[in-house]
Structure 1
């Protein structure tokens, strides 16, 4: 019903879940504004910056058109166009497959590495906004966000996620989170949103 829309202030103000959704929307807008400002400063598009940052911090096997399309919920042609521009600007190199000449992974060039050093601070204002919040509140907020991200992935809203909850190494031991790869119990603050060792567990 229209009256129960999360965007209807009258309903929103009486429903905490709607307030949270509205708050996440505001934060999403702030993220986009900060990214756009950095993109304009460097003469790149937002997605080009995001691709460069992703390649800098993730496995080479994930730095290809197909995976990047899923990561950013964009079409392969859109990602290919962005990569083409980055290649023309000398910011990336392409490593073609020995078995398939159409397939390639992407690495940063020296120019790309320097650019990432200038770009990946764009989200610092968001991080700085959390500095006055006490540790217990931050831990509670993180726990809520990590569960929400996993829920959205399980419902097909987020195509890719690399959080502990969806990993084959994750399990519950006596109602406690546990990593079977690290052989250790996981505290709330140990749960990862983007784990390098993540391997998707089989869905039943």
Structure 2
């Protein structure tokens, strides 16, 4: 844990294989926890599972990139969401990293342009560390999945063997193809991934 937290430290953490999550109520101190799970969740770019019904649903959404980052991260950090962890420190640091071109958002929109869901994450070379995703339960039941499908298409579009880190495997993510690998394997893959070129986030998404 650390009391210090800023953009440079966050980027150094991802390069070292750790990611930050705020710690609250530790003797009244505002600390940042740094995590490196023994079993790390990743989504192999050739392992994404898209069911027939999901493929039909995602055609309802238009995908954009980096057009609504502020709204995406705030919707992801909605305090009413179960297990919410995004606080003002995260908002400030990741907004700065977005402005620096290191953090990106992928948005799924309805036909009339409303934001139905999205995700954001950290891009360093060929590493994309997914941080959080959300969907609007009224207008975007599968919108976060649509954003994930578009992200995978973007990461693998030029044939590079990039690394999509999702931190932990959950039953929901496992249904989409997320697997767990040992920490040592993750760190080996990370060392290669950060040397690869980053995807072109200016390119139109699928």
TM-score (norm: length of structure 1): 0.23
* Larger-Rg structure: 1
Structure with bigger helix share is 1
Larger relative contact order (Cα-Cα within 8 Å, sequence gap ≥ 6): 2
TM-score (norm: length of structure 2): 0.23
